[in-house]
Structure 1
Amino acid sequence: MAAILHSSLPPEMARPRPLPGVAPAAADDWVRVDETYARQMARREQLLDRARADVLWMGADALDAAQEVLTEALAILPRLGFAVGPEIVRCPDGRRVTLRREDPLGTLGRLVQEDICILEKRRDEHVLTAAVLCFPASWRLADKAGRPLGAIHDPVAAYDADLARRVQRLFDGVRPGRPLWRHNRLLYADPELHQPWRSGPDDAPAAYLRSERQCILRLARTRAVVFSIHSYVVALDAAQSEDVAQDVVG
C-alpha cells in the first residue's frame, strides 16, 4: 500500500513541549481537513469495511455521548468544505456518507480524519467507553476498551503517578467550548497509519516522523470528554533523523 505522507507538520507542531504539553484550542479546531484527506479517508473506509471490530468499539452505555459528538462534528463540517444534509453528507473528496445516528462513531469514522475516543467519569477516573480508532500508534483498541486513564497509559514510561494525577485533573477541568490540545512525536520505520503494533524489526532505522495532534474537549450535554487524534506522517532524510530523535515525546 502506498505511503500516505504529509509534506510537513503544521507550524505549531514543529517542536515538542514537555509532558503533558497542553494549550488552549479554538472551539471548532478539534476537526481539521489537510492535504491527505482523500487518501486517509480511503484507508479509513477500508478498515471500517474489513476490520470494523478492530477499529470501532462502543460500550453499552456510550451511545448518548457518541451521538452528541457526531452532532457537534456535523456543526463544524460545513466550514471545512462539507455539504451537510439531513440524511447525506458530501465530503471534500466527493464521497457521499449516509448519516446513521444509530451508528454515530461508524458514521464519524467515514467523515473525518480524526480518530475519536470517548471517556466518561466513573468514580475517580475517566474510563474509555467508546472509540473509533483507525490509526493507532502502537496500541490496540481491544486492550484499552473499558479501562480507566491510568490503566490505558500503563506502558508509557513517562506516565508516572504524578503525571497521572495531572492528566486526571486536566480531564476533570476541561470545559465545554474550550478544548485543549497537545501533540507527540514518534519515529517509525514504516509509514503505515494503522499500526496497532510496530511492523518490521525493532532495530529498523527510523525513516518517518509520526505526530498526533490530540484535542481534549468536553461535551455540554452528556459531560463526556472527547479525545480526538489527527495523525500526520512525514518522511525523514538521513540528516534529519538524528536531530529529530532527540525531540521524540509520547
Structure 2
Amino acid sequence: MSVTLKPLESYRDDFTFRNSPEAIARFPFPFPEDKYMYSVNIEPAGSGAPGSVFEHCFDIDEHYRSETAERARVLKKDPQRCIVMPHMHEASWDALEMLMTHLAADYPELFRLSCDGDQWTWENHALDLRQRFTFGDADTLPYEPLEYIGRQVQGDFALLDQRDGDLFMDAGIVTGPADWSLAFDAGMSFKQWHAPVPMAPELGVFDRALKYLLNIAVERPVRRLNWTMTINPRLDTSSETFHEWGHERGQVTADNVAGLVHLRVELQHMARLPRSNALLFGIRTYLISLEELASNPAWARRLHRVLRDLPEAIADYKGLTRYRPLVVEWLSQFDPESAAA
C-alpha cells in the first residue's frame, strides 16, 4: 500500500491533528469483546491484512511527518528522552539495522538502503535525508544510532537487555509515552517498571508475559495491543510534562467530550535483535477522538460497554475516573441496550 503523507499537524497547542476517513478505517480498535481485563494478548507480528496497521512490522501512516516533527521538538527540549547505557551500543546498531531494513523493504517509495560491506547509504525521501555512514562507527552519524533512526520512525522504542532470567530497560527513545518516564524506568527490570499496574500481578499476567518474552526467537517477532485514553490528541503525556496536560482531564464537559477525549491505542512490537540478543520493544501510538470513532457505530457501542463495566482499579490506573461518566453517557446513544433501559 502506498502511503499518502499529510501536511504537518500539531500534537500540542492548537491540536490540529485529525484522522482521515482512511486512517479511521485502519485504526487498531483494541476490544475483541464487550469487556476488558488484562491478558497476554500476544500474536505473531508482520502478517496482517494488506493496508492494515498489522501488515508490516513497523507501520508508517499519513501522520509520519507530523509525528517525526513532534519527536524532534521533544528531543530538542529534553535530550534525556533518548538514553543508551554503555553496554547497549551494539543493541542500538542492531535496532538501526532492523528498522532500516524493514522500512526500505516495506516502503520503497519512502526509504532506500544500500549496503557495500560496512559502508551504508540511507535515503529518507519523506524527510529529504541522505546519509552515508560506516556501520558500527557512531562518529559517521549525526546522532547515536538509536536516536538517528528513532527520529525517523513513528512510535517509541525501548531496548531491553536480557540477563539473569529477566529483561532490563537499558536503552530507549521515548517521546510520546502514556504517563510514564524513560528516565525514571531506565535500568529497571520487567516487573519493576510494570509494578504500578493494578490487578495484573495477582492474575499472573506478568509472570506469563515475561516467560514468553524471554523465549522470543530471532525472526519471530510478536505484537499486542494496549490502550488508554488521552485528552486532546497529545502524544507526549510523559510524567515529566504532567504539569502541561494533567489539568486537561478536568476540562471535559458534556458539550466537548466527543472532540476532546481520544482513545489511545498502542501497537506494541517485540523482536529479538540478532547480534546483541536484546529485545526491541516498539510502542506505536494511534489516537482517535470519540467523534471520529463513532463513525463506526459498532466500535462506539462496544467502547460504551467496556468503559461502563471497567473495574474501578483499572479505570483509576488509566486516569479515566474523572471523566469516565461523561464518556459513558455520550457513548450510550450508540448502544441499543442502553437506549432500551
Q: Please tell me the TM-score bracket, short chain as reference.
A: 0.7 to 0.9
- For the pair 1:90 / 2:123, whether they are aligned, the reply is yes
- For the pair 1:147 / 2:188, whether they are aligned, the reply is yes
Matches within 5 A, 1:208-247: 208-237=262-291, 240=294, 244=303, 246-247=305-306
Relative distance call for 1:171 and 1:50 in structure 2 (3 A) is same
- C-alpha contact 1:16 1:184 (8 A) present in aligned 2: no
Larger gyration radius, structure 1 or structure 2: 2
- For the pair 1:51 / 2:78, whether they are aligned, the reply is yes
The code of the aligned residue for 1:178 comes to R
Relative distance call for 1:238 and 1:11 in structure 2 (3 A) is closer
The code of the aligned residue for 1:225 comes to L
- For the pair 1:6 / 2:19, whether they are aligned, the reply is yes
Provide the aligned length of Structure 1 versus Structure 2: 249
Could you tell me how far 1:193 is from its partner in structure 2?
0.3
Query: What TM-score do the two structures reach when normalised by structure 2?
Result: 0.66
Q: Deviations over 1:160-218 (max 9, x none)?
A: 15112111111112111111101112111132101114514344436111111001111
- C-alpha contact 1:6 1:232 (8 A) present in aligned 2: no
Match of 1:15 in 2: 30
Distance 2:130 2:289 in 1: 31
Among 124, 130, 133, the residue aligned to 2:171: 130
Among 214, 222, 225, the residue aligned to 1:180: 222
Relative distance call for 1:242 and 1:139 in structure 2 (3 A) is farther
Match of 2:198 in 1: 157
- C-alpha contact 2:30 2:265 (8 A) present in aligned 1: no
Q: Deviations over 1:197-243 (max 9, x none)?
A: 45143444361111110011111221111100111111112995785
Relative distance call for 1:98 and 1:239 in structure 2 (3 A) is closer
Choose 239-248 or 26-35, whichever is displaced more: 239-248
The code of the aligned residue for 2:100 comes to L
Match of 2:90 in 1: 64
Could you tell me how far 1:45 is from its partner in structure 2?
1.6
Structure 1: segments with no counterpart, 5+ residues:
none
Could you tell me how far 1:95 is from its partner in structure 2?
2.8
- C-alpha contact 1:4 1:40 (8 A) present in aligned 2: no
Among 209, 212, 219, the residue aligned to 1:167: 209
- C-alpha contact 1:144 1:152 (8 A) present in aligned 2: yes
Distance 1:13 1:156 in 2: 22
- C-alpha contact 1:4 1:191 (8 A) present in aligned 2: yes
Distance 2:293 2:127 in 1: 39
- C-alpha contact 2:30 2:225 (8 A) present in aligned 1: no
Match of 2:330 in 1: none
Structure 2: segments with no counterpart, 5+ residues:
1-12, 33-37, 48-54, 139-143, 295-299, 308-313, 319-341
Q: Deviations over 1:134-156 (max 9, x none)?
A: 11111011110000000101111
Choose 113-122 or 24-33, whichever is displaced more: 24-33
- C-alpha contact 1:213 1:230 (8 A) present in aligned 2: yes
Matches within 5 A, 1:81-120: 81-85=110-114, 89-96=122-129, 98=131, 102=138, 103-120=144-161
Equivalent residue of 1:113, what SS? coil
The code of the aligned residue for 1:30 comes to C
Relative distance call for 1:245 and 1:215 in structure 2 (3 A) is farther
- C-alpha contact 1:109 1:132 (8 A) present in aligned 2: yes
Relative distance call for 1:24 and 1:10 in structure 2 (3 A) is farther
- C-alpha contact 1:88 1:96 (8 A) present in aligned 2: no
Relative distance call for 1:89 and 1:143 in structure 2 (3 A) is same
Match of 1:189 in 2: 231
Structure 1 or 2: larger helix share? 2
Match of 2:56 in 1: 29
Distance 1:154 1:10 in 2: 35
Q: Deviations over 1:107-146 (max 9, x none)?
A: 0222111211111122121111100001111101111000
Equivalent residue of 1:118, what SS? strand
Identity of aligned residues (%): 21
Relative distance call for 1:92 and 1:170 in structure 2 (3 A) is farther
Could you tell me how far 1:10 is from its partner in structure 2?
6.3
Relative distance call for 1:15 and 1:97 in structure 2 (3 A) is same
Distance 1:157 1:147 in 2: 18
